Structure 1
Amino acid sequence: MIDLFGYGAFFLSMALTYAIICLGLNVQWGQTGLFNVGVAGFVAIGAYASALLTTPDTPDRLGGFGLPIVAGWIGAALAAGIASFLVGALTVRLRADYLAIATFGVAVMVQLCLLNLQGLTGGPFGIGFIPRPFAATATNPALFAALNLALLLAVVAALYLGLERLLRSPWGRVLRAIREDETAARALGKNADRFRLQAFAIGGAIMGLAGAAQGHFIGFIAPENYQPMLTFQVWAMLIAGGSGNNRGAILGAIVVWGLWAFSAPAIAALFPPDQQARAAALRIVLIGVGLCAILLIRPRGLLGETRTVSRHLPKAKPKP
């Protein structure tokens, strides 16, 4: 029973870290229409920033300040937010397809920097021995797993409530107006570029926080963890759950991560040990098929966006 509980807690904890990334992407794409395909790069910035702030200095790697985990998470959000702001200042004026190309290039550049700045990032060997929350309880696996799960649940709940309040504010309504009809929003005196930049920076900061949470939960990070496949997974999660809906972003992360995690043993058993690369490719195909099936049944995702004309208007009564 303890092993079953521990696996369930591990699965939900990982799913919740992806849910945090989805919430950040939902601010950018679901609410503002910013086509960011460089998600992996901003997650990596947050993960490495937190790791460098919280791990001790070593002879073969510069940095390492040994700060508390909370400081690392705050630093991760700030680092990714600042990076998103700088990238957004150069790219948010681009159209969707050009913005996608630019953000993808940024993600590739970040990964190359992580691979080559070995004196700072550890290069291809990554950074290990990242402090884990509640490490003092590690001798009790059930308690350790439960506390980590509770922490991530609290983070996701706080982000959800904060984003719901923010996106229902006048600021959030401007974002949706820009997404739906930028010309009309500009005609009403709204600076679309400024609001886009704000949304891009906030979404990137949330992604950085998720990267820090993943790094501290696993205890190890490496550049290969932040390949374009991560971006594909997060986009599949958001689309499956329902773009524009924060609850859908969380649900989509859990569903797609479940499909990815539970399909691994079954698919791996179909191939011999020397052909596991085919098994990994088949898992990607499985996610694509699952996403198509969800969209055929629920075109707007499992929990589509709820469109509200005005919260001051009464709900329309059904016709007799």
Structure 2
Amino acid sequence: MPALTDLLSYGSFFLVFSTVFAVIVLGLNLQWGYTGLFNVGVAGFVAVGAYTSALLTTPEAAGRVAGLGWPVALGWAGAMAASALAGLLVGLAALRLRHDYLAITTFGIAVCVQLVALNAQWLTGGPFGVQFIPRPLQGWLGTGLPWTLGYLALSVGLLAVAYLALERLVASPWGRVLRAIREEEDAASSLGKHAFAFRLQSFVIGCALMGLGGAMYAHFVGFIAPEDFLPILTFQLWAMLIVGGSGNNRGAILGSYLVWGFWALSGGLLRGLVPQAEQARAAALQVMLIGVLIAVMLLWRPRGLLGENAAVSRHAGGPDAAAAKP
């Protein structure tokens, strides 16, 4: 049944990409949704993770340094470590800035990372990118649909681990401090909480997840190039978080699947309706449609489809407080 096989192939391909984006958006949600850090340089940290894992695991290549041939698992661990280190360095320099100033700084850093990837041909392959990135499980599952389904299962497993770990973190006292700093930093500091240290920890962990997502992307497609990490990627990831709902990890995951589905569906429709000569304009129209989707969501459900659950403090003399007493 070729039609069923094609449907399964496309569906699994779509779900792998959505799952990879969900891992990245979980990191962004930790930074923005729980800590209020306006990171507009997500694509840069994704690129660091993708290139790190690719360079650690690929075989040697002429004209390019690295190619260590490490196992994929070590490449992914290295990607998380490299992105976390990049987040640490950026955080130490920039996290004392606020809101739009932090956004401008992180955006500039992401552009610098993309330009380094484009011009450092001795390291990244320059515009030719990194090829022959190994694909895990291929030795057992072969190629085609069986491998795609296997990679999907692996990706979903990693997403589940990331989700459960973050749920434990944000429900712990550490997570409550993050929300307190987000809402009223001065009050949290007056209680002895080192706001900068907590913001830095949140930023580094979020960047590590972005690096993991970049590595998962690289090993799925088998080839990466600088144009994979343009600012439009950051725009897509922010759209996923806004639609799903910041401050809620389930919302971040839901938004990733929905927005990527909307992106794929709108792209397919535009390719079918717009003449070949106008495809470049159709791509711009696709971005505009995502912008319209964001605007509609902000007007209809400002907190997203699954926004953060509001925590209402019990009044000291209210009935809830009395009922809560032993």
1:280 aligned to which of 278, 283, 290: 283
1:211 corresponds to 2:214: yes
List per-residue Cα deviations over 1:278-301 (Å, max 9, x = no partner).
Answer: 010011011111222233332210
314 and 73 in structure 1: CA distance in 2 versus 1, 3 angstrom threshold: farther
Task: Tell me, in whole angstroms, the C-alpha distance in 2 between the residues paired with 1:53 and 1:20.
Answer: 21
Q: Please say which of residues 258-267 and 33-42 is displaced more in the overlay.
A: 258-267
Q: Please say which of residues 204-213 and 129-138 is displaced more in the overlay.
A: 129-138
1:63 aligned to which of 44, 54, 66: 66
Residue 270 of structure 1 and its aligned partner are, at CA, apart by: 2.7
Residue 217 of structure 1 and its aligned partner are, at CA, apart by: 0.7
2:56 aligned to which of 53, 56, 63: 53
Secondary structure of 2:306 counterpart: coil
316 and 222 in structure 1: CA distance in 2 versus 1, 3 angstrom threshold: farther
183 and 7 in structure 1: CA distance in 2 versus 1, 3 angstrom threshold: same
2:126 matched to which residue of 1? 123
Task: Tell me, in whole angstroms, the C-alpha distance in 1 between the residues paired with 2:203 and 2:313.
Answer: 25
2:181 aligned to which of 164, 178, 182: 178
List per-residue Cα deviations over 1:45-76 (Å, max 9, x = no partner).
Answer: 00000000000111221101000100000000
1:137–1:143 contact (8 Å) kept in structure 2: no
Task: Tell me, in whole angstroms, the C-alpha distance in 1 between the residues paired with 2:302 and 2:99.
Answer: 21
2:238 matched to which residue of 1? 235
302 and 236 in structure 1: CA distance in 2 versus 1, 3 angstrom threshold: same
249 and 315 in structure 1: CA distance in 2 versus 1, 3 angstrom threshold: farther
4 and 314 in structure 1: CA distance in 2 versus 1, 3 angstrom threshold: farther
TM-score between both structures, scaled by the size of structure 1: 0.95
1:303 matched to which residue of 2? 306
Task: Tell me, in whole angstroms, the C-alpha distance in 2 between the residues paired with 1:132 and 1:262.
Answer: 27
Q: Which amino acid aligns with 2:67?
A: G
2:25 matched to which residue of 1? 22
1:222 corresponds to 2:225: yes
Residue 306 of structure 1 and its aligned partner are, at CA, apart by: 1.1
Q: Which runs of 5+ in 2 are unaligned?
A: none
Alignment of 1:83-102 (within 5 A): 83-102=86-105
310 and 164 in structure 1: CA distance in 2 versus 1, 3 angstrom threshold: farther
1:41 matched to which residue of 2? 44
Task: Tell me, in whole angstroms, the C-alpha distance in 2 between the residues paired with 1:108 and 1:231.
Answer: 11
1:74 aligned to which of 74, 77, 88: 77
Alignment of 1:3-14 (within 5 A): 3-14=6-17
**Percent identity for Structure 1 against Structure 2:** 59
Aligned residues: 316
1:163 corresponds to 2:166: yes
Secondary structure of 2:38 counterpart: coil
Task: Tell me, in whole angstroms, the C-alpha distance in 2 between the residues paired with 1:65 and 1:25.
Answer: 30
Aligned-pair Cα RMSD in Å: 1.8
Task: Tell me, in whole angstroms, the C-alpha distance in 1 between the residues paired with 2:43 and 2:10.
Answer: 25
TM-score between both structures, scaled by the size of structure 2: 0.93
1:109 matched to which residue of 2? 112
Task: Tell me, in whole angstroms, the C-alpha distance in 1 between the residues paired with 2:28 and 2:113.
Answer: 18
Task: Tell me, in whole angstroms, the C-alpha distance in 1 between the residues paired with 2:94 and 2:116.
Answer: 20
Q: Please say which of residues 172-181 and 263-272 is displaced more in the overlay.
A: 263-272
Residue 315 of structure 1 and its aligned partner are, at CA, apart by: 10
Q: Which amino acid aligns with 1:91?
A: A
